[in-house]
Amino acid sequence: MSELNFDGMAVAPGVVETIVSLATNEVEGVAAVGSSAVNPIRSVLGSKPSAQGVEVSVGEDSKLTISVRVEVLYGYALPDIAANIRKAIADAVKSQVGVSVNAVDVYIDAIQFAR
């Protein structure tokens, strides 16, 4: 994806992906962003760890649509985790980039159990 342009400001897509990844990792119950099953493949292909599991697209209204894939910890309510992820991402992107988020799609790929 090329640069994201908003009101005369250009932002590299990796910047938004990193903000999304960091905000998601701070949500209680999130074990990892991205899927551990595909992380070794991505590392061979040269994907940045911060961008794994995050996709960002810009609509015609200049609002972002974000998809994030996560692994969660066993014992947490999945609807609550998804809602908290959506809020954390929308708040972080709005405060740090100054752009509204149209939608956040959360995909729960796995549950991790305590060892």
pLDDT at 9: 85
Question: How distant, in Å, are the alpha carbons of 2, 8, 30, 35, 85 from that of 77?
Answer: 36, 41, 11, 19, 12
Q: Say which CATH superfamily domain 4-112 falls into.
A: Cation efflux protein, cytoplasmic domain (3.30.70.1350)
Structure tokens at 51: 């961008």
Cβ-based neighbours of 71, under 8 Å, separated by 6 or more: 30, 31, 32, 34, 35, 36, 108, 109, 110, 111, 112
pLDDT at 7 over 80: no
Give the model confidence (pLDDT) of 57-114 as tens digits: 888 887 899 999 999 999 999 999 999 999 999 999 999 999 999 999 999 999 999 7
pTM here is: 0.84
Is pLDDT above 60 for 50? no
pLDDT at 109: 96
How confident is the model at residue 59, as a pLDDT?
Answer: 83
* Boundaries of every domain in the chain: 4-112
